Amino acid sequence: MTIKQLVSEEEWTLAFPVMKELRMHLTLQSFIETVNQMTNEGYKLFAIYENNEIVGLSGIIFRTNFYYGKHVFVYDLVTTSSVRSKGYGTKLLNYVHQLSKEQDCKVVALESAFSNINAHKFYQMQMGYEKFCYSFKKIL
């Protein structure tokens, strides 16, 4: 098992099928364009490999605000359905926790859709996250 940051369009293309399991609305073109823009804004995409195959992804960004201070926000955490519940998500998230500590972050934050009950159990029961607020959006 290896975890590495993906930095090229070629690597992002290889990661696309895994990300599409989480972000089903994406096309390869929209994914590459968005990752490129997000990377310019500080986004980092990490892949976990098993037998030279990407089996999971985590997309993060380092931020600072008034309520968390310096923190990491996890935009994406996904493992392929064929390996789900085999520990890859835990390994990826623990990797993010370690990166966060190295950058003197005190908080790792993320959002999860109401309907994603299995993810909620994973974050709360296995990873020690707390559910503490609602996140709101308005489509313009």
Tell me, what CATH number does 88's domain have? Answer: 3.40.630.30
Determine, yes or no, domain membership for 18.
yes
HSE at residue 55, side-chain half, CA atoms within 13 A, is 20
Mean pLDDT of 36-41: 98
User: Do 77 and 60 meet the contact criterion of CB atoms below 8 Å apart?
Assistant: no
The confidence score (pLDDT) of residue 33 equals: 98
pLDDT at 16 over 90: yes
The confidence score (pLDDT) of residue 123 equals: 94
Determine, yes or no, domain membership for 48.
yes
Host domain of residue 96 = 2-126
pLDDT at 84 over 90: no
Determine, yes or no, domain membership for 110.
yes
The DSSP letter of residue 82 is G
Length of the chain measured in residues? 140
The confidence score (pLDDT) of residue 79 equals: 96
Alpha-carbon distance of 15 to 54, in angstroms, equals: 7
User: Do 3 and 91 meet the contact criterion of CB atoms below 8 Å apart?
Assistant: yes
Determine, yes or no, domain membership for 136.
no
The DSSP letter of residue 135 is -
Determine, yes or no, domain membership for 7.
yes
Determine, yes or no, domain membership for 131.
no
User: Do 71 and 64 meet the contact criterion of CB atoms below 8 Å apart?
Assistant: yes
Which neighbouring-strand residues pair with 47? 4, 57
Determine, yes or no, domain membership for 25.
yes
What is the separation, in whole angstroms, between the first and last Cα of the chain?
42
How many domains does the chain contain in total? 1
Considering the entire predicted model, what is its pTM? 0.94
Alpha-carbon distance of 101 to 16, in angstroms, equals: 28
Determine, yes or no, domain membership for 140.
no
- The encoded tokens of residue 39 equal 């990377």
